[in-house]
């Protein structure tokens, strides 16, 4: 899994990079087929905004969050991504698990 973290009007420190990577481990724990993750941290006046795109096989999952605190925005973003990834995983399992019903020998 490749993780790319970029900043728009904000400097990406080692502490922020470690915090984001640590939080994103939760997403990869629930779904193993993550190809890459792009995270953009930005500051717009007093709002700290975080956007992320997760590329999985066959789909890209996007989420964004904003807050007055960067760490709170990251937490909120990871919660949203986690729910989206779990939903995607459940849909994949439903598609694979449901086969056409076979006719039973009821006679």
**How far is Cα 85 from Cα 87, in angstroms, rounded to an integer?**
5
| Reported confidence tier of residue 26, pLDDT bands at 50, 70, 90 | confident
**2-77 fold:** Double Stranded RNA Binding Domain (3.30.160)
Q: Kindly state the average pLDDT of the residues 11-33.
A: 88
- Per the document, the length of the chain is 107
Given this model, what pLDDT does residue 6 score?
94
Given this model, what pLDDT does residue 106 score?
55
- Is-contact 36 16, C-beta < 8 A? no
Residue 44 scores a pLDDT above 90: no
pLDDT digits (tens, 9 = 90+) for 83-101: 998 888 888 887 776 655 5
Q: Which residue has the tokens 């724990």?
A: 29
Given this model, what pLDDT does residue 88 score?
87
The residues spanned by each domain of the chain are 2-77
- Tokens encoding 59: 């789909």
Given this model, what pLDDT does residue 30 score?
76
**How far is Cα 61 from Cα 51, in angstroms, rounded to an integer?**
11
Given this model, what pLDDT does residue 56 score?
86
**How far is Cα 98 from Cα 26, in angstroms, rounded to an integer?**
28
| Reported confidence tier of residue 103, pLDDT bands at 50, 70, 90 | low
CB 64: neighbour CB atoms within 10 A?
15
């Amino acid at each position: 899994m490749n993780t790319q973290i970029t900043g728009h009007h904000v400097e990406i420190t080692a502490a922020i990079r470690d915090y984001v990577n640590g939080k994103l481990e939760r997403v990869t724990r629930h779904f193993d087929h993550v190809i890459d993750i792009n995270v953009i941290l930005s500051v717009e006046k007093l709002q700290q905004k975080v956007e992320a795109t997760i590329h999985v096989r066959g789909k890209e999952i996007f989420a964004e969050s904003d807050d007055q605190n960067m760490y709170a925005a990251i937490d909120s973003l990871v919660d949203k991504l986690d729910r989206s990834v779990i939903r995607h995983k459940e849909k994949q399992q439903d598609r694979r698990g449901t086969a056409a019903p076979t006719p039973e020998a009821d006679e």
